[in-house]
A = this chain, B = another copy of it.
């Protein structure tokens, strides 16, 4: 069983980044690779970029994709083994994943965390249940703890814009009105460290990420210090990990704006979108020359295409 949920090693990452850049130049260069194959795109949560970019990536490879919004079009899924199913959930993931496994060649799944059950989320319970019971190669379209196709697209974007071999990359926490999952922050840290960037993570006290993803990064609670001389600043909110799913800080001064970047004149700013404008990040940055957010979004197509082509080989 083979599935894309994590950063494997720098060599594979470099290869995927190169492949994505090649597809960006020639999207249809492998348009027979997926001929006769079908991918099921399964969503337990909303999606815009992820769904459309993966459909286009599949199509560029000649593969048929079928989208299923399982939270809306199908039956509510029971994830726990051994339960007596006498409540609201109509179908068990064992049965649904087994069936989908027999209909497709590859599955791709979006399954956000509960943010209430730290243990289950931390072991990526839903993703692993799907992988196990479908028996198919599975691509994560954002799971409880990782968003690998986003991170691959982010690495492609950094590769395109970096001016030095080992850029200073800062992941900065930003305010938000809701409790947000850790997947994007985790994956970005994991990939950026793995790709050999000089990574600093800055956040208010109490917002420490799961250490599995941040080994090798500098943790700096003073945001101004962290941002100084940054080449890339990745802005993202996440809820607390230790006090799981809690909002501990609503300090608006953590929002990134131009003034905060005065010590980082060349910094490019990144965000995975959707972004809360003027809450996480100011309009002036998003609509100005520093912003790479549209580049990141466009690169989602080629990142997905590179990952799919790797699975198809």
A residues engaging B (CB < 8 A)?
Answer: 28, 36, 38, 40, 43, 46-49, 51-53, 55-56, 59, 64, 66, 68-70, 72-75, 78, 81-87, 90-92, 94-96, 98-100, 102-103, 177, 273-279, 283, 286-287, 293-294, 297-298, 301
Query: Which of B83, B279, B298 interacts with A277 by CB under 8 Å?
Result: B83
CB contact under 8 A between A70 and B48, given known A91-B275, A103-B53: yes
> In the complex, are the beta carbons of B55 and A96 less than 8 A apart?
no
> In the complex, are the beta carbons of B52 and A103 less than 8 A apart?
yes
> In the complex, are the beta carbons of B64 and A47 less than 8 A apart?
no
- Shortest Cβ distance from residue A77 to the other chain B in the assembled complex, whole angstroms: 9
- Shortest Cβ distance from residue A56 to the other chain B in the assembled complex, whole angstroms: 6
> In the complex, are the beta carbons of B38 and A95 less than 8 A apart?
no
**The 5 residue pairs across chains A and B that have the minimum distance between CB atoms:** A91-B274, A48-B74, A99-B297, A102-B298, A85-B276
* A48 surroundings in chain B (CB, below 8 A): 68, 70, 73-75, 91, 96, 99-100
Main secondary structure of the interface of A (DSSP, over half): mixed
CA distance A43 to B86 in the complex (A): 26
* A177 surroundings in chain B (CB, below 8 A): 86-87
* A70 surroundings in chain B (CB, below 8 A): 48
* A52 surroundings in chain B (CB, below 8 A): 40, 66, 68, 100, 103
* A59 surroundings in chain B (CB, below 8 A): 38, 64
Q: Residue of B at shortest CB range from A283?
A: B82
Supply 9 A–B pairs (Cβ within 8 Å), ascending by A: A48-B74, A51-B73, A69-B72, A84-B278, A85-B277, A91-B275, A95-B274, A98-B294, A103-B301
